Chain A
Amino acid sequence: MKIHEYQAKELLKGYGIPIQGGVIIEDSAEAEAAIDQVNKELGAEQYVIKAQVHAGGRGKGGGVKFASDRAGALEQIQAILGMTLVTHQTGPEGRLVKKVMVGEALDIKQEFYAAITLDRSKDMDVFMVSSEGGMEIEEVAKTAPEKIVKEAIRPGFGLRPFQARNLALALGLEGPAAKQAIGMFQKLYQLYRDLDCSIVEINPLIVTEQGDLVALDAKIVFDENALYLHSDIAEMRDLNEEDPAEVEAAKYHLNYIKLDGTVGCMVNGAGLAMATMDIIKQRGGSPANFLDVGGGANVETVKNGFRIILADENVKAVLINIFGGIVRCDRIANGIIEAVKVLDLNVPVVVRLAGTNADVAKELLANSGVSIISADSFEDAALKVVEAAKG
């Protein structure tokens, strides 16, 4: 689960990590008051206006602007609040900016990168720093991997002080700034562990002209499996930042991800669902979505799955691909029959059922009188649905 920059900074602040301060507004009528507050409380004369959306690349997309005075800040707030921000992570449709942060502008002497995440190949967390602050870390990893310094965190031992020192040294920090960094890195790992994060990233982490280490930006992603342990974190979820169809699907325990193709897919199991999307593409079609109805698929899940798939206007045909293991295909067939009867179905539906009770299920479908196209194999299903989607 992602949260906004301002929420991540609040969490950092709670751990005693210095952050670039600011005020969040959702309405440009609050702009003057926000600027006043940043001016008074933080002593800022110059400002940074930052769009709050769950996507990277905000600066490049025009969602982060510097203002050298109050009038400039007002102007930038008007420009950014309500804009549709397009970055490499939002897709071409962009994201509506509903919140902006009015932040204090700081004098930057140096910019670094610091992050903690899981190193899957080592089965342990890794703390990474780089002297190339402000750049995307994937880019640094490609062009100058030697500039990323890592410390593996042994399970049960945490980030040891010597490791924090190594990281500070790697950034070339000395004196008070090094001392600040060592303390900050340990607090950062504490936060990562305490809150079951999957990513904590500060980019850039800056040294100000005054010599202070400050988190200028912050990104935190949480492990969804652990949210049950952190109800306060779960409340930080901003559903405005998520696709409404995906939010709706989650209510029914359906795992749905919207894509931009024309073939709707309903599949049991994540691996088979991905493979189904892949084969549709290979046979000349394009998948409209990923949808895993899960191991406990029944009449209700099939009905809800249909509703969500069909709400996407791009969908020209639907493929249902179920391999019944524990799930019985006859139950799925009944779900399909019921859903087709209840919902106003105006696109062709191709159904492929295999595994437990598949024969019974095929008979049920054949005798139901509902209009579906039956497929015998995975391949057959893909060919038929791609053809059907062409109209």
Chain B
Amino acid sequence: MAILVNKDSKIIVQGITGSEGSFHASQCLEYGDNIVGGVTPGKGGQTALEGAVPVFNSCQEARDKVGANVSLIFVPPAFAADAIMEAAAAGIELIVCITEGIPVAQMVEVKAFVATTGSRFIGPNCPGILTPDEAKVGIMPGFIARKGSVGVISKSGTLTYEAVDQLCKQGLGQSTCIGIGGDPIIGTTMTDLLEMFEADPETEAIVMIGEIGGSMEIEAAQYARDHVSKPVIGFIAGQTAPPGRRMGHAGAIVSGADESAAAKKRIMAECGITVVESPADIGRTVKAILK
């Protein structure tokens, strides 16, 4: 089960002939992903990953010819918005965009565009999705994770790895790990994923790692209070971040009172989420709850 991706996912990589795309696509292939092709406009008919997969000119072609249902996007920021819309228009069911640096105004349009299709979109500016032992659609290091029953949702890349590592050290595996991205506009929210993990029989507990900026964690906490029966363990990074400064991620900036780490943690706790104060205590806390 798990959520979003599994060993049956038929994955294409948009931007597979670029350096980022080809490097990470080969890593995914090595992990055991079912990569059925790549898309680079103008390079249709060629092959990629040392002849392992065909390259198509468009997502539609990839969908028609090899039945792709998941797309992983590595195209540069100036072309990424268009690539996401192309995948959605072609009926690709799940779109994961790794690209960092897409203009916000373009993301506003992308989000509205994707909403008119049936696609689910993750990212941008994210590490992607990892369902241990089944599929890695993104750039997470596969070897740090192991199969299990903890769902992980995070705005951050390396902090997710840290959490996953702590879980494994406690003997806890993961059902699926999702990096949703740290941009102001993202395709799939924490609330969306809480809903999916709640419905997933394999998931027993959910780790939710947020950060300063925006109100997504608060909305997710309120959703969890009303609709999630499984334990949710939360952490918010940026307690020490100065207000008004952008902390690396485009969306990590405190611009209102409820966007600070303290405010988010307080509201999350009020909603019944187990809030972890120290980022070093994530694994231990989950272990204690699942005992």
A contact set with B: CB distance below 8 Å: 89, 118, 120-121, 123-125, 138, 141-142, 154-156, 193, 196, 198, 223-226, 228-229, 255, 257, 259, 267-282, 287, 290, 292, 295, 323-326, 354-356, 377-379, 382
Whether A281 touches B240, Cβ cut-off 8 Å, given contacts A271-B155, A355-B161, is yes
Contacts of B244 in A (CB 8 A): 89
Kindly identify which residue among B127, B248, B257 contacts A142, using a CB–CB cutoff of 8 Å: B257
Instruction: Tell me how far the C-beta of A190 lies from the nearest C-beta in chain B, rounded to whole angstroms.
Output: 13
Chain B: interface residue total (CB-CB under 8 A): 61
A121-B214, A271-B156, A271-B211 given as contacts; is B240 within 8 A of A277 (CB)?
Answer: yes
Chain B, 147-158, contact with A by CB distance < 8 Å: what is the 0/1 string? 000000011111
Listed stretches B62-70, B82-90, B98-106, B223-231; interface member: B98-106
What residues on A are CB-neighbors of B157 within 8 Å?
269, 271-272, 295, 325
Chain A interface main SS type: mixed
Q: Is the interface of B mostly helix, strand, loop or mixed?
A: loop
Most buried by A among B78, B161, B209, B244: B161
**Shortest distance in angstroms between B241's beta carbon and chain A's nearest beta carbon?**
6
- Given A120-B215, A279-B279, is A257 in contact with B141 using a C-beta cutoff of 8 Å? no
A358 to B: closest C-beta gap in Å: 10
Contacting residues, chain A, for B91 (C-beta < 8 A): none
- Interface segment out of the listed B6-14, B41-49, B107-115: B107-115
Given contacts A121-B215, A123-B108, contact A323 B158 (CB under 8 A): yes
Interface centre among A226, A280, A281, A356 (most CB of B within 10 A): A226
Closest residue of chain B to A281 (Cβ to Cβ) is B240
Q: Shortest beta-carbon distance, A194 to chain B, in Å?
A: 10
Residue of A89, A292, A324 near B248 (CB, 8 A) is A292
Q: Given the complex, which residues of B lie within 8 Å of A269, measured CB to CB? A: 156-159, 248
Count A/B pairs, Cβ under 8 Å.
172
Do residues A225 and B219 form an inter-chain contact, with CB atoms below 8 A?
no
Within 8 A of A (CB), among B140-172: 140-141, 143-144, 154-162, 165
**A274 lies within 8 A of B141 (CB):** no
User: What CA separation (Å) do A281 and B111 show in the bound complex?
Assistant: 37
Q: Are B159 and A275 in contact (CB under 8 A)?
A: yes
Given A120-B184, A120-B185, A223-B103: A279 touches B278 (CB 8 Å cut-off): yes
B280 contacts A279, C-beta separation under 8 Å: yes
B272 within 8 A of A: no
- Counting CB contacts under 8 A, is B249 at the interface? yes
Residue in chain A with minimal CB distance to B140: A325
Contact of B252 among A274, A276, A278, A281 (CB under 8 A): A274
Q: Within the complex, which residue of B102, B159, B251 is in contact with A272, where a contact is CB–CB below 8 Å?
A: B159
- Beyond A223-B104, A257-B247, A259-B242, list 7 extra A-B contacts (CB 8 Å): A268-B158, A271-B155, A274-B211, A278-B239, A280-B240, A323-B158, A356-B141
